[in-house]
């Protein structure tokens, strides 16, 4: 079988693909910014890429993009009813604290929820629930958080609306195959098999492989290894700090170029107050909790006539004070905090919150934090107030890892009352699914109609609807879709498909189908399932036509591979969300996720052959 010749247009398009892949993997630019850059390049290079400016912009008006946008809003409407939190409390009450039951209940509930509600908010809500479950049961939360993310990914393949990549696949099915859009429940039978197999793996083999990275009942200062960065000092009578307010003292320290330190708490006569929330005047004998390196501490003590208490270990309790909380929180993918430096963020400027440490991709950051820019998935150790913590979670900037006020024993917890709009929100989502399933309206129209109903019935305000949308994903979608178009028109997809088809001379078609799944899954683990789906489906469909196989079967292999990006923490945003809270290392995802990915390669390949034919 002869390979098509490599043209200049094909080479340019491949160059753009490799540039996009390099930027996605290196994270030199946010993925959505990369996608917009690719969009512009495709239009500017129209004679070579064969994508006109109008076609380069067509991604913004595609059915997939608009449906994803609408489903974010519908998910938010359901989320605000409080029904997901109640599921978590119910889960806590029925498990009885036994580890295997806790794990099975966690992954089952999460997987089923993610089939209909966007899995990012599901995981955001379940992180504190699961952490509390682990604490109640005496289990390391590391044992539950990775399975939580994997289950959310698996559940996304239960229905067409489970993930954005499903909707893209449906759009591409119309363009590339002689058929209509994928039905709402068309691949649900295989999705159920995949979810069941995944759950069985997670509660058996996966349970044995998932490491215990965070010990039970670990003090937060110990978990973040703060012992060399937190100290207790007292104010001597001759100290220049005497008579100054706490804020003035901090300003003096900030103005000293040779000392870098932060005041965290001031204590007098057994009463402690968070430094960021008070204007208290410093007096002789006051005890100050300071965050600094040992070198800076020595300079601070010497310059400002303080006395260090070397034998005093600063614990979590020492950082609380009146109206204070010490919390862990994850920066969500769509947070306004992403890209802002800690020193200039709303945390320090307006919310009386101090970032004590950051967990990022297995690394623990505790120095020079003010200049560091926050990333999605960063786990922050915060000294804050209840009001500030509530504000940040309400605005969907952060997800708390552990609810600071939740008592042990879920029977003692009274859930918040459900919204009076709960029946409307749930009925609206069910109506959208039913209308699309019965093919009464295209799914994009059904979803937009659902958004309209939620807005006019006050399930959501207009602002909440706009805030619910992951605009970075929308721009990623709109920017990357034309790249798939260029691959098809220049013959790039045909060239890759021809190379894959050459393999068919040595292996059966079923094995080739499994190879497409494995390759797609590994690509998704590096560049996100959305980008992988756009790039791989044209290749998979062309490969099928060259070997005389069913193009829909190969499309399904890519679709399900998009939900199997388990091998790295960077492939899917829910993996990033549990990376820090679970204390995981990069290789933990490979150890637990790669065997599951290979197992599903067999299950999906055989399942497609049995249920849909090859």
Assessment of whether the complete model's pTM goes beyond 0.75 = yes
Q: Nearest-CA neighbor of 560 among 531, 601, 523, 515?
A: 601
Phi, psi (5° rounding) for residue 498? -65, -40
Q: How far apart are CA 604 and CA 529, in angstroms?
A: 17
The number of residues in the chain equals: 614
Q: What is the pLDDT confidence band of residue 407, given thresholds at 50, 70 and 90?
A: very low
CA distances from 428 to 184, 420, 452, 453, 483 (A): 16, 14, 10, 7, 35
C-beta neighbour count of 339 within 10 angstroms? 12
Q: How far apart are CA 379 and CA 292, in angstroms?
A: 20
More confident residue, 406 or 244: 244
8 A C-beta contact, residue 5 and residue 508:
no
Q: Which residues of 232-244 are buried (b: 16+ CB within 10 A; e: fewer)?
A: bbbbeeebebbee
Residues 424-473 pLDDT 10s: 988 998 898 899 888 888 888 999 999 999 999 998 999 888 888 888 88
Residues 526-566 pLDDT 10s: 788 888 998 899 999 999 998 999 999 999 999 999 999 89
Q: How far apart are CA 322 and CA 284, in angstroms?
A: 21
Residues 249-304 pLDDT 10s: 988 988 888 888 989 989 888 788 888 888 899 999 999 999 988 889 999 999 99
Q: How far apart are CA 123 and CA 218, in angstroms?
A: 23
Report helix, strand or coil for 126: helix
Q: Is 82 exposed, middle or buried (0-12, 13-18, 19+ CB in 10 A)?
A: middle
Q: How far apart are CA 196 and CA 332, in angstroms?
A: 28
8 A C-beta contact, residue 413 and residue 407:
yes
CA distances from 404 to 326, 327, 389, 546 (A): 8, 7, 10, 58
C-alpha 93: how far from chain center = 27
Q: What is the pLDDT confidence band of residue 335, given thresholds at 50, 70 and 90?
A: confident
Q: Which residues are paired to 511 by β-bridges?
A: none
Phi, psi (5° rounding) for residue 230? -125, 130
Q: Which residues of 284-316 are buried (b: 16+ CB within 10 A; e: fewer)?
A: eebbbbbbbbeebbebbbeebebebeeeeebbe
Q: Which residues are paired to 59 by β-bridges?
A: none
Residues 106-122 pLDDT 10s: 899 889 888 888 787 78
The domains found in the chain, sorted by start residue, are 228-312 (3.30.70.1450), 325-412 (3.30.70.1450)
Q: Is 368 exposed, middle or buried (0-12, 13-18, 19+ CB in 10 A)?
A: exposed
Which whole number is the average pLDDT over 43-64?
90
Q: Which residues are paired to 86 by β-bridges?
A: none
CA distances from 38 to 12, 29, 571, 594 (A): 12, 12, 20, 31
8 A C-beta contact, residue 342 and residue 386:
no
Q: Which residues are paired to 398 by β-bridges?
A: 331
Quote the pLDDT of residue 408.
Answer: 43
Mean of all residue pLDDT scores within the chain:
86
């Amino acid at each position: 079988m002869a390979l098509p010749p490599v043209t200049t247009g094909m080479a340019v398009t491949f160059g753009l693909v490799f540039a996009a892949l390099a930027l996605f993997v290196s994270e030199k630019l946010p993925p959505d910014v990369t996608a917009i850059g690719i969009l512009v390049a495709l239009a500017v290079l129209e004679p070579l890429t064969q994508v006109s400016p109008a076609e380069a912009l067509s991604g913004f008006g595609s059915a997939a993009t608009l449906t994803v946008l609408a489903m974010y809003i519908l998910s938010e409407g359901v989320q605000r009813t409080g029904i997901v939190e109640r599921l978590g409390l119910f889960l806590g009450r029925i498990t009885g604290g036994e580890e295997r039951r806790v794990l099975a209940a966690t992954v089952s509930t999460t997987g089923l929820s993610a089939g209909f509600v966007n899995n990012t908010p599901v995981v955001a809500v379940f992180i504190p629930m699961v952490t509390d479950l682990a604490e109640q049961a005496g289990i390391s939360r590391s044992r539950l958080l990775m399975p939580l993310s994997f289950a959310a990914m698996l559940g996304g393949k239960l229905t067409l609306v489970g993930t954005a990549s499903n909707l893209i696949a449906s759009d591409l099915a119309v363009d590339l195959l002689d058929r209509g859009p994928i039905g709402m429940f068309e691949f649900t039978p295989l999705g159920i098999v995949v979810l069941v197999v995944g759950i069985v793996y997670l509660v058996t083999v996966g349970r044995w492989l998932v490491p215990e990275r965070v010990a039970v009942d670990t003090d937060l200062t110990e978990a973040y290894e703060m012992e060399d960065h937190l100290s207790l000092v007292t104010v001597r009578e001759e100290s220049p700090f005497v008579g100054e307010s706490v804020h003035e003292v901090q300003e003096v320290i900030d103005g000293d170029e040779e000392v870098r330190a932060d005041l965290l708490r001031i204590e007098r006569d057994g009463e402690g107050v968070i430094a960021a929330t008070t204007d208290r005047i410093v007096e002789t004998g006051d005890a100050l909790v300071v965050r600094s390196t040992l070198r800076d501490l020595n300079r601070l003590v010497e310059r400002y006539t303080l006395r260090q208490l070397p034998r005093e270990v600063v614990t979590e309790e020492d950082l609380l004070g009146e109206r204070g909380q010490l919390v862990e929180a994850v920066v969500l993918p769509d947070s306004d905090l992403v890209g802002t430096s800690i020193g200039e963020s709303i945390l320090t400027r307006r919310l009386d919150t101090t970032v004590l440490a950051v967990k990022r991709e297995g690394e623990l950051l505790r120095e020079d934090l003010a200049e560091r820019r926050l990333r999605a998935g960063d786990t922050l150790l915060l000294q804050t107030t209840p009001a500030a913590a509530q504000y940040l979670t309400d605005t969907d900037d952060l997800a708390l890892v552990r609810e600071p006020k939740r008592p042990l024993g879920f029977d003692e917890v009274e859930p918040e009352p459900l919204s009076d709009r709960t029946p409307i929100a749930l009925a609206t989502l069910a109506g959208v699914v039913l209308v699309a399933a019965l093919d009464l309206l295209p799914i994009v129209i059904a979803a937009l109609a659902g958004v309209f109903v939620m807005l006019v019935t006050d399930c959501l305000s207009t602002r909440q609807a706009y805030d619910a949308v992951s605009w970075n994903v929308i721009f990623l979608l709109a920017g990357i879709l034309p790249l798939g178009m260029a691959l098809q028109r220049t013959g790039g997809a045909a060239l890759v498909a021809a190379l894959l088809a050459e393999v068919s001379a040595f292996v059966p078609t079923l094995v080739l189908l499994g190879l497409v799944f494995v390759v797609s899954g590994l690509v998704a683990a590096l560049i996100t399932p959305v980008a992988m789906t756009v790039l791989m489906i044209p290749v998979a469909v062309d490969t099928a036509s060259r070997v005389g196989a069913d193009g829909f079967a190969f499309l399904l292999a890519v679709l399900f591979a998009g939900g199997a990006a388990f091998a790295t923490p960077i492939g899917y945003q829910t993996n990033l969300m549990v990376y820090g809270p679970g204390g995981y290392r990069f290789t933990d995802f490979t150890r637990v996720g790669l065997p599951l990915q290979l197992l599903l390669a067999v299950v999906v390949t055989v399942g497609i052959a049995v249920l849909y034919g090859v």
